[in-house]
Amino acid sequence: MPSHPSWDDLDEFLESDDFASLATITLKGGAVLRDVAGIFEEPGMSAAIGTFEQDTTRPTFLCKWSDVSAVRRGDLFVIPDDAGMLKNYEAHKTPARTGDGMAVVSLEPSL
């Protein structure tokens, strides 16, 4: 069974008052997942995935696996930027589980 990270309480770790962002996710079937807390990483930066890092040119969203287990390629993510402007992204592929209760979703800008 996967172990949880040292912070243990993922909701506390992903508190939006600190550094997490709140995304609204619309699945292709029409279901809307609101206020999914996660860490949004800009393109070109290192995206933390479990115990290693992956260099990527795509934006990523690190969040609880249980929040995004239904996400599939093409699902829409609306995430505010640092200035509060809403930006649209699509899931590039199915979320990757990190083995610690978290998942990383590779995103691409949506027009």
All structural domains of the chain, each given as residue ranges with its CATH number in brackets, are 10-109 (2.40.10)
**pLDDT score of 31 more than 50:** yes
pLDDT tens digits, 46-93: 545 555 555 667 899 999 999 999 999 999 999 998 888 999 999 999
**Nearest 5°: CA angle at 106, between 104 and 110?**
135
Determine what percent of the chain is predicted with pLDDT higher than 90.
59
* 74 three-state secondary structure: coil
- The pTM is what? 0.80
Question: What pairing do the DSSP bridges indicate for beta strands 102-109 and 96-97?
Answer: antiparallel
Handedness of CA 48, 51, 56, 60 (dihedral sign): negative
